[in-house]
Amino acid sequence: MDTIRVMEDILKKIVSIRKNQEEEDLKNISHLIRNMDDEIYSLIISRLKKEIEIVKKYKPPVRPAVDPLVSSYLGVYSGLDFAEEYGMLMGYPRCCIESFKSVRFAIDEEHLREVEDLKEEGKVAVVITSGFIPCSLKCKEAWKRCLIGSVSQSEYESILQLEEELFRELPHYHGGYGEYYEKIKLK
């Protein structure tokens, strides 16, 4: 998978839900999206499209978090009762959703112990989509879905530039959302 396709899949799911296409596994999110004010819906779609447009310029190996304003309107931060649905909407692996539901809300010591095993020649950091808490930093499915990756110095610098452009082009005021990526230096 590539980061653009993963982000476009999220957009397609939202648009499909709005058009009253049945999303059996996303009942609560579907209800929210279908009943959303037209102006708010247009805003989240335009911001998500803008984010995808910006990401296309950088082609990062790991997808950034979805725009915080979009996530807020979708109820991602207030919908912890529906963590499974939000995980499915965002394309998270089932194992990671289950780990999160077991009250694992942050990168923890267990994750950090795995970093040593991820060191690789030419790679300077492990990068994770911000807001995504994997069951393990070694989760093969999360790597396949562009939610975790190890990056070279040039890729790392490109990710920093991508974050800077996203903040500039898609301003938001979500205090708990400092970055689009979590970064763990390998050296």
pLDDT at 114 exceeding the cut of 90? yes
pLDDT confidence of residue 178: 73
pLDDT confidence of residue 34: 93
Mean pLDDT along residues 3-24: 89
pLDDT confidence of residue 134: 96
- At 88-104, the pLDDT tens digits run 999 999 999 998 887 77
Q: What mean pLDDT value characterizes the chain?
A: 91
Q: Please, which pLDDT band fits residue 79 given cuts at 50, 70 and 90? A: low
Give every CB contact of residue 186 below 8 A, 6+ residues apart in sequence: 115, 118, 119, 120, 123, 124, 125, 126, 150
Mean pLDDT along residues 99-124: 88
Q: Please, which pLDDT band fits residue 126 given cuts at 50, 70 and 90? A: very high
pLDDT at 8 exceeding the cut of 90? yes
Asked if residues 51 and 64 have their Cβ atoms less than 8 Å apart, the reply is yes
- At 133-165, the pLDDT tens digits run 999 999 999 999 999 999 999 999 999 999 999
The SS3 of residue 175 is coil
Other beta carbons within 10 Å of 157: 12
